[in-house]
Structure 1
Amino acid sequence: MTYMKTLSAALMASAAMATAAAACEVTLRSADTHPDGYPTIEAVKYMGELIQERTDGRICIEVFHSAQLGEERDTIEQTRFGVIDMTRVSMGPFNNLIEETKVVSLPYIFRSVAHMNTVMDGPIGEQILAAFEPHDLIGLAYYDAGARSFYNSQRPITSLADLKDMKVRVMQSDIFVDMMDALGASATPLPYGEVYSSIQTGVIDGAENNPPSFESSGHFEVAKYYTLDEHLIVPEALVMSKTSFDKLSAEDQEIVRQAAKESVPHMRALWAEREKASTEKVLAAGAEIITDIDKTPFIEAMVPVYEKHVTTDVLRDLVERIQATE
């Protein structure tokens, strides 16, 4: 999608929702690729309710779900330029822009979702959020994206041999491509919206994602083997255009920051419910969830990935501190 097309889409979508936001002095447009009702969507809506209440209706948030304003890379650029005000994006697309985001995108850097939440809620998380600002973005909060695992249309994956030469879609991130290369698979970066048809037509064999995304995307219909290897536990970032943020008063900026933080536990509660429901749904539809897997060879295969991407003192320090966090 070209810049002009994404700009046009943003303006048309904004105009369509203008009536509903007419009572607000400031309407912040927030983009997301997930469908309406998804936990990240509902979290930003909740954030908007808090902001509207605390500003006496002066500031509202319009949430554009289902990639109405473009795929994640599109919305990052639009947000940096101030075309839209906020976006919820996976960490992967930020890796080539913001060095610090590489660390939380490393395979097996987090031992569990609980470990990830502890790290991102603390000083390490704050340090990474601050790294967005030099790139015309204000890091507001992290949302839980669960653990990402492999799924495919060919066979259950229980060993490295099962992954060999398999064509697997990954996000457009060098780390994720290198991860697949290290595992012996063929990495295929594709926009999220193209995954279903690409599996269906055999362009790729599978992809990797969390259970709610596996379910909500319908990917379980064309790739029934889901291996719970949990290779990536990557938080997602809610970021705001620095241009839009700087237009707010200091008081309103604090309201926005605080509301974003308070939306996090709300999102996590919704996520836990959604993950359980999604797992039940795909199992009922005939998908197979494989849990009998030895992760050790997968973890050991990541040594060259760490060596390639953890190359600065800043990154090495972050890795050591994450691994030391209980």
Structure 2
Amino acid sequence: MKYNLIFLSLLLLACLSCKEEGGTKVLYLAHTLPQTHPVHKGILEFQTALEKKSGSKLVVKIFPDGMLGSEREVLELLQIGSVAITKVSAATLSNFVPEYHALGIPYLFRSKEHQFDVLEGPIGKSILEKGEKFWLRGLCYYDAGSRSFYTSKKAIRTPDDLKGLKIRVMNNQMSINMVNAMGGSATPMAYGELYTAIQQGVVDGAENNPPSFVSSNHHEVAKYYTMDQHSSIPDVLIIGTKFWEGLSQEERVWVQEAADESSQAEKVFWNESVEESMKIAEDFGVEIIIPEKSLFAEKTQSVLEGFLKEYPEMTELVNKIKAE
């Protein structure tokens, strides 16, 4: 009941604050990440850049830490025009736009450079615009790193080492199919339960990026981290079309330019966070393993084939990304 009252109060405040105030338009931006997260730092860059470009005609007020709800709840607030902007995972957006789902295909991107060549080029920009029919317009992509395996009792050096291991995954079919294809036993589980589950042997490990591995304290209970980097699902900065359509052409240019600049800044913050996290993990006694990634990629071909069988219309998109 207390949470609902807080939520409703913030929602009312957000509704009021999306209006003009003395010639200034206030853009409410809500997300679920902590303020120490590199993506939040990128959002702060967006806030600063937009205020500077607009001469304070457009001002961003940020609600971090899930103050206005979960990713799904905030997306709904965008759709009805109560909140202007949010940051969500491309995996979440795949519930609306199947093209985002393709970005999670294991080993689709050859490298970080290839990934952002695609995302920041015509292909990525086209995907950002496809959410408009759901009142969700993409502004830019943020680096959310690459997910890799970590385990408690046994090191993963080749896909064969995954056999018989229970690996916690997100509750989506592609993640489940990927781990199973490699020989592991995919085990969907709430993220908040994972530390104890590893500690007590309910699961043998999980997969995530380095900052999440350390910030969740999983490095305390998982002593092997295999940098196979099987998927690189970006985050996306989204503006609600109800707010976007109320902006002038000049204001839209300011918003887009500020978003693009924040995307570049966030990449630097992310890389710094990865380096810091890896050092913390190593200092804590975690063995960092650099495997032959091609061995893992070969095992996931069935995941790609299954995806294209379910979404045959995505074949052209996948081929374009591979050819980029």
TM-score, L = length of structure 2 = 0.87
Determine the C-alpha separation between the residues in 2 that align with 1:171 and 1:6.
Answer: 27
**Deviation of 1:80 (Å):** 2.9
- Where 2:36 maps in the other structure, the secondary structure is coil
User: Structure 1 residue 207: deviation in Å?
Assistant: 2.1
Question: Which one-letter code corresponds to 1:111 in the other structure?
Answer: R
1:89-118, Cα deviation, whole Å (9 max, x unpaired): 222222232111122110000111111011
Residue 207 (structure 2) aligns with: 208
Matched, 1:306 2:311: no
Give secondary structure in 2 for the equivalent of 1:139: strand
User: Secondary structure at 2:98's aligned position in 1?
Assistant: coil
Distance in 1 of aligned mates of 2:9 and 2:191: 23
For residue 294 of structure 1, what is the amino acid of its counterpart? E
1:296 corresponding residue in structure 2: 294
The question of whether the paired residues in 2 share the 8 Å contact of 1:7 and 1:83 is answered with: no
Contact residue 224 and residue 288 of structure 2 kept, 8 A: yes
Give the letter aligned to residue 44 of structure 1.
I
User: Does the 8 A contact of 1:89 with 1:237 survive in 2?
Assistant: yes
Question: Kindly tell me: are residues 6 and 239 of structure 1, through their superposed partners in 2, closer, same or farther at Cα, counting changes over 3 Å?
Answer: farther
Matched to 1:134, the amino acid is: K
- Rounded to whole Å, the distance in 2 between the matches of 1:81 and 1:173 is 26
Give the count of matched residue pairs: 320
The answer to whether the 8 Å contact 2:35/2:65 transfers is yes
Alignment-derived partner of residue 49 in structure 1: 48
How do residues 61-210 of structure 1 correspond to structure 2 at under 5 angstroms?
Answer: 61-210=60-209
**Distance (Å, rounded) in 1 between the aligned partners of 2:234 and 2:106:** 12
Aligned-pair CA distance for 1:239: 0.9
Contact 1:95 1:173 in 2 (8 A): no
> Which 5+ residue runs of structure 2 have no aligned equivalent?
none
Indicate if the aligned counterparts of 1:103 and 1:310 stay in contact, CA closer than 8 A: no
Shift of 1:282: 1.2
Is residue 84–residue 241 contact of structure 1 (8 Å, CA) maintained in 2? yes
C-alpha distance 301-287 of structure 1, shift in aligned 2 (>3 A)? same
CA contact (8 A) 1:211 1:275 kept: yes
- Pick which of 271-280 and 77-86 moved more: 77-86
The one-letter amino acid of 2:96's match is L
Question: Residue 261 of structure 1 corresponds to which residue in structure 2?
Answer: 260
**What's the C-alpha RMSD, in Å, of the aligned pairs?**
2.9
**Aligned amino acid, residue 63 of structure 2:** F
Amino acid across the alignment from 2:298: E
Task: Give the secondary-structure state (helix, strand or coil) at the position aligned to 1:132.
Answer: helix
**Alignment partner of 1:154: what SS?**
coil
- AA matched with 2:10: M
Shift of 1:60: 1.9
Q: Percent identity?
A: 37
Q: Is the 8 A contact 1:168 1:208 kept in 2?
A: yes
Q: Helix, strand or coil for the counterpart of 1:33?
A: coil
Distance in 2 separating the partners of 1:267 and 1:36:
13
Seen in structure 2, the aligned counterparts of structure 1 residues 29 and 6 have a Cα distance that, compared at 3 Å, is farther
- 1:125-154, CA deviations, whole angstroms, 9 ceiling, x for partnerless residues? 111111111121010001112221111223
Deviation at 1:10, TM superposition (A): 6.6
Structure 1 letter corresponding to 2:118? V
Task: Tell me how far apart the structure 2 counterparts of residues 202 and 23 of structure 1 sit (CA, whole Å).
Answer: 59
Q: Which is further off, 264-273 or 200-209?
A: 200-209
Residue range with higher mean Cα deviation, 258-267 or 30-39? 30-39
8 Å contact kept, 1:182–1:301:
yes
Opposite residue 105 of structure 2, the aligned amino acid is L
Say if 2:27 and 2:61, in contact at 8 Å, map to a contact too. Answer: yes
CA change 1:197–1:248 in 2 (3 A) is farther
Distance 1:34 1:137, change over 3 A: same
Residue matched to 2:58? 59
